[in-house]
Amino acid sequence: MTSRLDVSDGFLGRGDDVYEALIRAHEGLTDDESAALNARLVLILANQVRDPGAVIEAIRLARETGPPSEKA
């Protein structure tokens, strides 16, 4: 099966803006609050993709690219 996941750079030259916004969103939060914010954000973006197959591919990629101890 070919992956429907597009991992090319889609930030349109604004990757650093997005990254900074992500980091700033966590300022002043505890680790648990940060983890919860990340979970909400993942769900929001998973919906925004409008492609459940791609979301499942993305989950697989995230699972496979972690440090060795976290890999499936």
Partner 1 sequence: MGTYVPPRFAYRPAAESRGHTGQRRPVAIVGAGPVGLSAAIDLALHGVPSLVLDDNDTVSAGSRAICWAQRTLEIFDRLGVADRMMAKGVTWQRGRVHRRDAEIYSFDLLPEGGHRMPAFINLQQYYVEEYLVERALQFPELIELRWKNKVVGVAPRQLGAELTVDTPDGAYTIEADWVIAADGANSSVRRMLGLPFRGQDFDERFLIADVRMDAAFPNERLFWFEPAFHAGQSALLHKQPDNVYRLDFQLGPDADPALERQPDRVMPRVRAVVGESTPFELEWCSVYAFRCARLEHFVHGRVVFAGDSAHVVSPFGARGGNGGIQDVDNLCWKLARVVGGRASEALIGSYDEERGRAADENILNSARTTNFMTPKTRTERLFRDSVLDLAPHAGFGRALVNAGRLSRPCLLSGLRLQTEDADSGWAGPVPGAPAPDAPVTDADGQPSWLLNHLGGAFALLCFVSDEAELADCAALKASAVSVVAIASRALSRAAPDVLIDHAGIAHARYGAEPGTVYLIRPDQHVAARFRRFDPDAIEHALLRASGADQSIRSAA
* 34 vs 64: CA distance, rounded Å: 22
Considering only residues 1, 39, 42, 61, which one is a binding residue for partner 1 as defined by CB under 8 A? 61
- Contact status, residue 37 vs residue 25, Cβ threshold 8 Å: yes
Q: Taking CB under 8 A as the rule, which mask of x and - marks residues 25-44 in contact with partner 1?
A: -x--x-x--x----------
**Closest separation between CB of residue 13 and partner 1, Å?**
9
Q: Which residue, 59 or 64, is less far from partner 1 as judged by CB? A: 64
Whole-Å CA distances, 64 to 7, 8, 13, 33: 14, 17, 27, 25
Q: Give residues in contact with partner 1 (CB under 8 A).
A: 7-11, 15-16, 18-20, 22-23, 26, 29, 31, 34, 61, 64-67
